[in-house]
Amino acid sequence: MGRRQYAVIGLGRFGTSVAHRLYTADQEVLGIDINEERVENAELSITHAVIADTTEEETLKSIGIRNFDCVIVAIGNDMQSSILTTLLLKELGVKKVIAKALNKNHGQVLTKVGADWVIYPERDMGERVANQLLSPNMLNYIELSKEYNIEEIILPMSMKGKSLRELDLRAKYNISVIAIVSNGEIIIAPSPDQDISEKDMLLVVGNKEDLALFANIE
Ligand code: ADP
């Protein structure tokens, strides 16, 4: 991926984490916060950091915010500032604005004022933790729709050492194996004769309920 310019507004735990990860992926990251101490703490772990109040239009203009490929609004508890900042960013023509919402109402307002993507970190992480608890063999998942997921699942002990043909997961559990992760390598569209060894993980697609059954086998 090429080098892109990101701005992260609000250098709390969430904003700092987003900013730092982008920076370690060799992206250009400007951190902005109204609080001097937060800016000083972030300075070493991102490209640049500035002290500014992003609810002021002139300030945003002088930063040249329009030129950034993507701006992340990670302002925490101050909903008014988060909404006003998002509104100004879209008015100034920022192409992609991602905004963090504290709750559903806040999220709806952020969408109304033009946020391109609204995220709910606490809600989503809470769901993720609960899903992991409900499916102990599941390591990771991508939600495709309300009903379907792609999941990375550790093969249950009782199924080890068998081929995909013998396991017959499509008939028995109504799920399809799209890849096998073996020793860090990914085997895409594995053949039915592929043996699955002890430490392998399966990438499977299916209905959430069917997947949950499979991810609970001992
Ligand atoms: P987290 O839950 O991610 O730790 P915080 O609420 O601690 O979130 O962090 C939000 C950050 O947003 C704070 O550092 C705060 O100073 C900053 N912030 C709040 N309002 C503004 C604003 N108008 N302009 C710039 N930064 C702001």
How does pLDDT run along the chain (218 residues), one tens digit per residue? 679 999 999 999 999 999 999 999 999 999 999 999 999 999 888 999 999 999 999 999 999 999 999 999 999 899 999 999 999 999 999 999 999 999 999 999 999 999 999 999 999 999 989 988 988 899 999 999 999 999 999 988 888 888 899 999 999 999 999 999 888 889 998 989 888 887 789 999 999 999 999 998 88
- Judge contact between 65 and 40, C-beta under 8 A: no
Give the atom of ligand 1 at the shortest distance from the alpha carbon of 55: 23
For residue 8, the model assigns a pLDDT of: 98
Query: Quick check: helix, strand or coil at residue 7?
Result: strand
Fold classification of 124-214 is Alpha-Beta Plaits (3.30.70)
Phi/psi at 82 (nearest 5 deg)?
Answer: -65, -40
Q: Which residues have any ligand 1 atom within 6 Å of their CB?
A: 9-15, 32-35, 38, 53-55, 74-78, 81
For residue 1, the model assigns a pLDDT of: 64
**Interior angle at CA 129, CA 128 and CA 135, nearest 5:** 90
- Judge contact between 90 and 63, C-beta under 8 A: no
Question: Which residues are within 8 A (CB) of 217 and not within 5 positions of it... i.e. 6 or more apart?
Answer: 137, 156, 158, 159
For residue 73, the model assigns a pLDDT of: 98
What single letter denotes the amino acid at residue 188? I
CATH 3.40.50.720 fits 5-119, yes or no: yes
Annotated domain spans of the chain? 5-119, 124-214
Phi/psi at 181 (nearest 5 deg)?
Answer: -100, 110
Instruction: Find the 131 Cα to ligand 1 centroid distance in Å.
Output: 30
For residue 157, the model assigns a pLDDT of: 83
User: Which residue pairs from 130-139 have beta carbons closer than 8 angstroms and sit at least 24 positions apart in sequence?
Assistant: 134/212, 135/211, 135/212, 135/215, 135/216, 136/215, 136/216, 137/214, 137/215, 137/216, 137/217, 138/211, 138/215, 139/201
For residue 188, the model assigns a pLDDT of: 92
For residue 206, the model assigns a pLDDT of: 96
